Amino acid sequence: MAPLPYPVLHATHGGTWIDLAGVDLMGGVRAIGRAAAIAAAADTPVILLNAPVVGARIGHPDLSGLDVLELFAFIHPARFMVPTAAGLARTLGLAPPASDGETAPFLRMAVDALLARLDDPHWTEREGAWSSAQTLGRLGWPWAPIVGPRIRRPERAERWLFSRLPEWEEAATRPPPAAVRIPAPDAIARLEQLVGSGAEVRAGQRDYAAALAPLFAPRDREGRPRALLAEAGTGIGKTLGYLAPASLWAERAAGSVWVSTYTKALQRQLDAETARIFRDPAARREKVVIRKGREKSLRLLNLEDALQGGFQGRAAILAQLVARWAAYSRDGDMVGGDLPGWLVSLFRRNGSTALTDRRGECVYAGCPHYRKCFIERSVRAAEGADIVIANHALVLLLADRRRSEGRSIGHVVFDEGHHLHDAADSTFRVALTGQEAIELRRWLLGPEGKSRGRRRGLSARLADVVSYDDAAALALEAVGHAAQALPGDGWLRRIADGDPFGPVELLLSAVRDTVFARAKSVEAGYGLETDAAELDGALIGAAGPAAEAIEALVRPMLRLRQRLEAVQEEMPDWIDAPALARIEGAISGLNLRTRTLTAWTELLLRLGAPPAPDFVDWLAVDRVDAREFDVGIRRHWLDPGKPLAETVLRPAQSVVITSATLKRGGDWDHAEAQTGLAHLDDPPLHFEAQSPFDYAARSRVLVVTDLKRGDLGQLATAYARLIEAAEGGALGLFSAIGRLKAVHARIADHLARAGLPLYAQHVDPMDTGTLIDIFRDDLHASLLGTDALRDGVDVPGRSLRLVVMEGLPWPRPTVLHAARRAVGGGSAYDDQVVRARLAQAFGRLIRRADDSGDFVLLSSAVPSRLLDAFPAGVPIERVTLARAVEIVASRLSSSDAIGHQAGTMTTPGMA
Ligand code: SF4
């Protein structure tokens, strides 16, 4: 096959290369400047790998072309691939390029290999490709003229996505679980079976499973769940430790155990571990369900709309690629599932959020795709599953909803339990902000201006119902009228211009004025906030009319809900199943939203009064890079453990809260307070097992004492020297995005020229999961990031051998922090937070028994009292930067595991 007549462009922080084979007579690869690269891309389509990343490297963010990743997503939808040259090489069975200079010709080879698959009789994702290529051609997808003619036209018309997806089956409601107990020896026997005959169950894991077994039994008294706090050091094997008794109970009682996690990585790990319980894949699919929130799953109705003209330009191309994926996806998860995280980044996130259900717009049985809907399938599957895996946010939300319906989540294991406090904090908060208010207005009235596809307001969703019922029609009309008081499109510009419209915009305008008058930015260019106390007359004066307007909206919403409930009971003869389902959906949406509106009114009515003891209220202007995106009043619980205990813990039969760092450098009292268990009537049981890892022999903590505080140049130099000494494999943690970006800008080019790619959250146009995949895959890559990396990176092996923290991770001095600090013991509270964060960050380093590495803290003033955050026995040295560099390099020279040769890259990717 002749090479495609297009140049291939490759760019890293270290340089830019173009391959002109088949394009001009000179052919070959050559290094070019950034300006020449931009000019080349303007003249003719270029082949490249990840256009946004290459565009960022050459300083042309809007760069587009023949992106190899888009071609891959078309040919192999729902297939995992690390989006680098090395990742592509591995997936295609090719030899990876040995240097940056060889990457451009390699990409040409990879394109040929991909195109050859279109002709391969064993191409498993052929169905639907021909039709999709035709549509993509009409949409102007640059690959379509190349791909289209290479796909054989099918003999019969291809079924389109919505007829290909399987339907879920309606099942009878599951009876309540049987009352059974799990004896500890049975749990241990199950654990031994799961671990397998070739491996040994360690004592800590055995004790852990035995300690959990008694939890899986009916509680003795209502409102008094069996509760256990279990701290199990990394390496104990706690996932199998709890899956053993949990799966046994589920099997014997015919009930479900919920396992709640904080990170997607743990969800994936759990999903894989359950293969030991259910060896038959079909049985496993039935017995283990990962439940995602509606806002994370593909909504077929929105996709259909996007495919039928609802999306334009690049968003329409994304919709076609998403449709290709949906036909092969295991569960339709758009976030953290089998849709590559990098796919939506290629489209600058354009359109992806409109493919999910972010506003509870589901019309249930009224939807033509109801029986094939991924979301509905997972809801039903969870009802009959043994193990339901979900994240903390969703479990808290569902528990809260079930409680209002008089049900509960019976048995629940919260893994990564040290995040439960934060999850409860955000679940039970109240935010009366412009963005929240306009979302509510759109749910009620539909989008303004040009209608966006299937998105309809409540009136349109209930049109057929109210045409038969006058009382409902009147209430709905009143809702529509009252909702006009909520902010509409352009609210942010209007209040910034001092020209607010309506009572709620007037309130937001007064909030913004107060914030700008009083607040200091915690980090330059980012959010501003101030205490909701000692407020001036203008703001208090605006609160009254806003509260009245909100109450005036709640009243007809309640009337409408009551009327709909009455219709549900009366079952008039005009009602059919779709109408009934729409009524059900509307009632549940109205319930949720009247609760929100009532919380807003309570918040407003307290403005100017002494603060409510259980809450912290403040005013905020949210900004990114000095650009405002939201304004409003926020309320958080001073102790989110209180609503957590009432809505989630108390209604449960049993609760296990487990983590490697539950006590977070504190004690059990602290752990009970953080997890809400302190608010239950009975104290929880405690269990503790030390990590089997030899931290003292395999890791060190180096406190670098000779850097001048606040000197960005010195900070950047320190990062660069340490990363060079370790030859990559470094995770750099920052407390402020601004400093992260400044350090990255100073060192990325230099490191790239040394063959050490540097990636960064908030800089590279990729999602965090993809950045971690690339980091994990490349022994010489390093990754810079903020909180999410400190808590959620699980990279066992040599890929992560150095953690560098820019300083002590003190809490940000926010209004909420000040309030919690005041009741939490002042500086002792801050110390707890820092210890917990240090322990979390250190925990990234040693993930397996044979891991080793260094933890470097760039801070001249680290109080000794905080050093007990690290595992006992780990050597801690206060050293100069030069000495730290020597020590890090010496660990490398004592290990030949990396096999690095200066100036070459094993995984050049698109650094
Ligand atoms: S059933 Fe609901 S969530 Fe599913 S596609 Fe239809 S409207 Fe969307």
* Distance between CA atoms of residues 743 and 366, nearest Å: 53
The set of protein residues with a Cβ atom below 6 angstroms from ligand 1 is 299-301, 357, 362-364, 367, 369-370, 373, 375-376
CB atoms within 10 A of CB 494: 19
Q: Which residues of 177-201 are buried (b: 16+ CB within 10 A; e: fewer)?
A: beeeebebebbbebbbebbeeeeeb
Q: Which residues of 133-149 are buried (b: 16+ CB within 10 A; e: fewer)?
A: bebbeebebbbbebbbe
pLDDT at 908: 29
Dihedral pair phi/psi, residue 480, rounded to 5°? -60, -40
Q: Does residue 99 surpass a pLDDT of 50? A: yes
- Tabulate helix, strand, coil % of the chain (nearest 5): 50, 15, 35
Which of 745, 856, 747 has the alpha carbon at shortest distance from 808? Answer: 856
Distance 461 CA to ligand 1 centre (A): 13
Distance 299 CA to ligand 1 centre (A): 6
pLDDT at 624: 84
Counting from 1 in the atom list of ligand 1, the atom nearest the Cα of 373 is: 4
Joined together, the tokens standing for residue 631 give: 């304004």
Q: Does residue 627 surpass a pLDDT of 80? A: yes
Distance 300 CA to ligand 1 centre (A): 6
Residue pair 429/299 in contact (Cβ under 8 Å)? The answer is no
Residue type, 85: A
pLDDT grade for 450, boundaries at 50, 70 and 90 = low
Distance 163 CA to ligand 1 centre (A): 15
Counting from 1 in the atom list of ligand 1, the atom nearest the Cα of 370 is: 1
Which of 774, 776, 767, 771 has the alpha carbon at shortest distance from 794? Answer: 776
pLDDT grade for 911, boundaries at 50, 70 and 90 = very low
pLDDT at 523: 66
Distance 466 CA to ligand 1 centre (A): 22
Which of 404, 326, 355 has the alpha carbon at shortest distance from 160? Answer: 326
**Which amino acid residue places its CA nearest to atom 4 of ligand 1?**
373
Distance, C-alpha 81 to centroid of its chain: 19
For residue range 852-906, what is the model confidence (pLDDT) as tens digits?
Answer: 999 999 998 899 999 999 998 999 999 999 999 999 999 877 764 444 433 333 3
Distance 430 CA to ligand 1 centre (A): 27
* Distance between CA atoms of residues 32 and 34, nearest Å: 7
Counting from 1 in the atom list of ligand 1, the atom nearest the Cα of 300 is: 5
Counting from 1 in the atom list of ligand 1, the atom nearest the Cα of 361 is: 7
Distance, C-alpha 413 to centroid of its chain: 20
DSSP-assigned letter for residue 221: B
Q: Does residue 700 surpass a pLDDT of 80? A: yes
* Distance between CA atoms of residues 144 and 153, nearest Å: 14
For residue range 794-820, what is the model confidence (pLDDT) as tens digits?
Answer: 898 999 999 999 999 999 889 999 999
Task: Choose one of 297, 334, 363 to mutate for the ligand 1 pocket test, by most ligand atoms within 8 angstroms of C-beta.
Answer: 363
For residue range 709-737, what is the model confidence (pLDDT) as tens digits?
Answer: 889 999 999 999 999 999 999 999 999 99
Distance 283 CA to ligand 1 centre (A): 26
pLDDT at 900: 40
Residue pair 151/129 in contact (Cβ under 8 Å)? The answer is yes
Instruction: Give the burial class of 438: count Cβ atoms within 10 A of its Cβ; 0-12 exposed, 13-18 middle, 19 or more buried.
Output: buried
pLDDT at 896: 46
Q: Does residue 24 surpass a pLDDT of 90? A: no
Q: If you count them, how many residues does the chain have? A: 911
Which of 413, 410, 415, 414 has the alpha carbon at shortest distance from 180? Answer: 410
Q: Does residue 554 surpass a pLDDT of 60? A: yes
pLDDT grade for 294, boundaries at 50, 70 and 90 = confident
Is pLDDT larger for residue 350 or for residue 426? 426
pLDDT at 603: 95
pLDDT at 295: 84
Task: Choose one of 165, 331, 375, 378 to mutate for the ligand 1 pocket test, by most ligand atoms within 8 angstroms of C-beta.
Answer: 375
Joined together, the tokens standing for residue 54 give: 């290459």
Plot region of 853 (φ>0 → left; ψ -120 to 50 → alpha; else → beta): left
Joined together, the tokens standing for residue 118 give: 């279109």
Contacts 24+ apart (CB under 8 A), 31-38: 31/101, 34/58, 34/59, 34/60, 37/9, 37/11, 38/63
- Within 8 A by CB and 6+ apart from 859, the residues are 703, 704, 705, 707, 805, 807, 808
- Range of lowest pLDDT (127-141, 438-452, 592-606, 683-697): 438-452
Residue with tokens 């796909």: 151
pLDDT at 370: 87
Residue with tokens 């890892």: 693
* Distance between CA atoms of residues 407 and 176, nearest Å: 11
Task: Choose one of 300, 378, 380 to mutate for the ligand 1 pocket test, by most ligand atoms within 8 angstroms of C-beta.
Answer: 300
Give the neighbor-by-neighbor strand order of the sheet with 29-32.
29-32, 15-19, 8-12, 47-48, 66-67
Counting from 1 in the atom list of ligand 1, the atom nearest the Cα of 301 is: 5
**Which amino acid residue places its CA nearest to atom 7 of ligand 1?**
362
* Distance between CA atoms of residues 734 and 808, nearest Å: 10
For residue range 310-326, what is the model confidence (pLDDT) as tens digits?
Answer: 888 999 999 999 999 99
Counting from 1 in the atom list of ligand 1, the atom nearest the Cα of 297 is: 3
Mean pLDDT over 779-789 rounds to 92
Distance 414 CA to ligand 1 centre (A): 29
Mean pLDDT over 546-568 rounds to 95
pLDDT at 665: 59
- Range of lowest pLDDT (28-42, 338-352, 839-853): 338-352
Distance 95 CA to ligand 1 centre (A): 44
Is pLDDT larger for residue 185 or for residue 661? 185
The three state secondary structure string of 811-843 is CCCCHHHHHHHHHCCCHHHHHHHHHHHHHHHHC
Joined together, the tokens standing for residue 682 give: 């009975």
Distance 70 CA to ligand 1 centre (A): 27
Distance 379 CA to ligand 1 centre (A): 12
Task: Choose one of 372, 373, 378 to mutate for the ligand 1 pocket test, by most ligand atoms within 8 angstroms of C-beta.
Answer: 373
**Which amino acid residue places its CA nearest to atom 1 of ligand 1?**
370
Give the neighbor-by-neighbor strand order of the sheet with 730-733.
758-760, 782-785, 730-733, 802-805, 853-858, 699-704, 876-879
pLDDT grade for 469, boundaries at 50, 70 and 90 = confident
Distance 371 CA to ligand 1 centre (A): 9
pLDDT at 206: 95
Task: Choose one of 301, 322, 584 to mutate for the ligand 1 pocket test, by most ligand atoms within 8 angstroms of C-beta.
Answer: 301
Q: Does residue 910 surpass a pLDDT of 70? A: no
Residue pair 543/607 in contact (Cβ under 8 Å)? The answer is yes
Task: Choose one of 370, 371, 588 to mutate for the ligand 1 pocket test, by most ligand atoms within 8 angstroms of C-beta.
Answer: 370
Task: Choose one of 161, 165, 307, 364 to mutate for the ligand 1 pocket test, by most ligand atoms within 8 angstroms of C-beta.
Answer: 364
Mean pLDDT over 408-413 rounds to 93
| Average pLDDT for the chain | 90
pTM here? 0.89
Mean pLDDT over 183-199 rounds to 90
pLDDT at 403: 83
For residue range 330-359, what is the model confidence (pLDDT) as tens digits?
Answer: 889 888 788 999 999 998 766 677 888 877
Distance 247 CA to ligand 1 centre (A): 31
- Range of lowest pLDDT (356-360, 448-452, 622-626, 727-731): 448-452
Mean pLDDT over 478-496 rounds to 95
- As a whole number of angstroms, the longest Cα–Cα distance in the chain is 84
Mean pLDDT over 668-693 rounds to 94
Distance 363 CA to ligand 1 centre (A): 6
Residue with tokens 């809007």: 62
pLDDT at 664: 64
Q: Does residue 121 surpass a pLDDT of 70? A: yes
Plot region of 374 (φ>0 → left; ψ -120 to 50 → alpha; else → beta): alpha
Distance 307 CA to ligand 1 centre (A): 16
- Within 8 A by CB and 6+ apart from 226, the residues are 214, 215, 217, 219, 653, 654, 655, 685
Mean pLDDT over 220-236 rounds to 93
